[in-house]
Amino acid sequence: MRIRSLLIASRGEIAVRLIRACRELGVRSVAVYSDADAGALHVRLADAAINIGPPSPRESYLNIDRIVAAARTAGVDAVHPGYGFLSENADFAEAVQAAGLTWVGPPAAAIRAMGSKTEARALVQRAGVPVVPGYDSDGSRWAEAAAAIGYPVLVKASGGGGGRGMRVVADPHELEAALTSAQREAGNAFGDDRVFIEKYIARGRHIEFQVFGDAHGNVLHLFERECSAQRRHQKLIEESPSPLLAAHPVLREQMGAAAVRAARAVGYQNAGTVEFIVDPETLSFYFLEMNTRLQVEHPVTELVTGLDLVHLQLRVAAGEPLPFTQAVVSQRGHALECRVYAEDPANEFYPSVGTLLKVVTPQTPGVRVDAGFESGDSVSEHYDALLAKVIVHAPSRPEALARMRSVLAQFHLLGIITNLAYLRAMLSHPEFESGHATTRFVEEHFAGWQPPAPPLEALIAAALADHLGAVRANGRAPNAEATYDPWAAGDGFRVGGTRAS
């Protein structure tokens, strides 16, 4: 079987990434979009696009019936969920297959098994994979269990992900409030308010392994990514190889083997990620969860292995076996990825929305930018604030760090506030440079962070915004297709305002 046309049930940069993979493989791409995304980049790039409803995700990107109906209307062969939204929804996978379409992802049974963190813990433990000491109950013995585990403990939502429904509890008096708060957030985010508690490893290393399986019984890993630099359980910088595992290759072998055992335990197929927390003092590692989809940070693995994971996804979904064995997969050089968000790190990471007046993307060897926006596009308040991912590759980690710092200094998104200056500061911190950053790195070193001075791009953006407003007020809408040059305008533009007439 060959996939000739693909519906992409997502938006933003991952939809753009999938569309470009379709072009490379000669596959017809069909996008879906909400009313808020009618002019979005993924809609413009796809071979066809279908509206699936209002801006609210529940009425569009999370509406299974509308997306399956769009797939039928478009006459596609297959559906790729991207990430986020319905990407780890077993009901969606089953609905796609019930419609006679190919699901580009793992079996629904595997999604369900790994979708509940408590069930996943028990399942992988039976497969010989170590798990963090924890407790799951009906709520009658939380305090007793937490005391037995030992504080600090982590309250975690049983379903979902992305850091939601998670609370660190350092004191017994905080436990009840944390449980109530986590249950409320989990119920609102995932429709499932079940939680459990586990030992909190305060200064752990978050290391995950990319796994891949096919319908012929082959399961292997494509090495690790370290994601310890994170804020409130949201990853900001990812890299491969892990600085910790580079110094302990035997530990890498053990963790890779454990990741494969976890995937085999659920009959896993297609791309997935097994996440671990590592105690850097004892070098003990513990299973956290499995993401049954393509990860945001998959380009890091692509750059160090030379493999295209989306191409592999489509071929495995079409029934092909994996074209290589574990023995031939290797890591080459070092890759780093930084997530660029539309948010203000100096103002409690408040989301920034508006029009991207100008996007200046670095064009340098060893650099890849996966973006979902271009100059003139609007950043909506309805969806995730991720604008782009900047990925670099170099022969060594110091060279990769230097390249990333240089690239971020050349990357400009004018018209909104971003976390670019924040990322540059993280990359230059001695603890990150040394490769010793833990999951507490951001909390310990960047609480209350402020930029050293207003960034130049913010000043330029403010001036451009003022000017653009004046142009529109005079009834002269700028041409979004043209390169915008305020210095060529004849309306008296100057920084801080227009010239008095």
Peptide bond into 398 cis (omega under 30): no
Are residues 295 and 318 located together in one domain of the fold? yes
**Structurally, how many domains does the chain consist of?**
3
**Sorting pLDDT into bands at 50, 70 and 90, what band is 481?**
very low
Asked if residue 326 is part of any domain, the answer here is: yes
Residue 157 has pLDDT above 90, yes or no: no
CATH number at residue 62: 3.40.50.20
Least-confidence region, from 40-44, 116-120, 238-242, 495-499: 495-499
Same domain, 276 and 304: yes
pTM for this model (two decimals): 0.86
pLDDT at 330 over 90: yes
What distance in Å separates the CA atoms of residue 426 and residue 130, rounded to the nearest whole number? Answer: 31
- pLDDT at site 498: 41
Q: Is the pLDDT of residue 497 over 50?
A: no
Confidence of residue 474 (pLDDT cuts 50, 70, 90): low
Nearest to 317 by CA among 107, 141, 114: 107
Of 172, 199, 226, the last residue of a domain is 199
Confidence check: pLDDT of 121 > 50: yes
Three-class DSSP category at 54: coil
Alpha helices in 133-224 (DSSP H): 142-149, 175-190
Give yes or no for residue 277 having a pLDDT over 50: yes
Query: Is 133 a residue whose pLDDT tops 90?
Result: no
d(CA 194, CA 400): 41
Least confident of 4-13, 281-290, 395-404, 482-491: 482-491
What average pLDDT does range 31-35 have in this prediction?
A: 98
Query: Which residues partner with 275 through β-bridges?
Result: 208, 289
Other Cβ atoms closer than 10 A to 17 = 23
- Say if residue 466's pLDDT is above 60: no
114 in a structural domain: no
Give the torsion through C-alpha atoms of 160, 163, 164, 166, to 10 deg. 110
Whether 269 maps to a domain, the answer reads yes
**212 and 184: one domain?**
no
Residues 363 and 432 in one domain: yes
In this prediction, residue 462 carries a pLDDT of 58
Q: Do 14 and 76 have their domain in common?
A: yes
- If asked whether residues 272 and 177 sit together in one domain, one would say no
Among the three residues 143, 169, 199, which one is the final residue of a domain in this structure?
Answer: 199
**DSSP states of 271-308:** EEEEEEEEETTTTEEEEEEEE-S--TTHHHHHHHH---
User: Looking at the domain assignment, is residue 302 inside a domain?
Assistant: yes
Residue ending a domain, choose from 162, 182, 199: 199
Distances (CA, A) of 225 to 292, 298, 302, 336, 398: 16, 9, 11, 9, 17
Would you say residue 459 has pLDDT above 80? no
In terms of domains, do 171 and 263 share one?
no
Residue 218 is assigned to a structural domain of this protein: yes
Say whether both 146 and 177 belong to one domain. yes
Q: How far apart are the first and last CA of the chain?
A: 69
Residue 57 counted as domain residue: yes
Report the CATH number that the domain containing residue 170 is assigned in CATH. 3.30.1490.20
> Is 427 found in the same domain as 405?
yes
Contact of 224 with 235, CB cutoff 8 Å? no
Any domain includes 112: no
**The domain that contains 338 carries what CATH number?**
3.30.470.20
User: What is the DSSP code (8-state) at residue 131?
Assistant: B
Can you give the residue range of the structural domain that contains 23?
A: 5-104
Q: Is residue 397 domain-shared with residue 271, that is, in the same domain?
A: yes
Confidence of residue 493 (pLDDT cuts 50, 70, 90): very low
pLDDT of 206 higher than 80? yes
Per DSSP (E only), the strands in 53-136 are 78-80, 102-103, 134-135
Q: Could you tell me if 293 and 439 lie in one domain?
A: yes
Query: Is position 451 within any domain?
Result: no
Residue 184 shares a structural domain with residue 223 = no
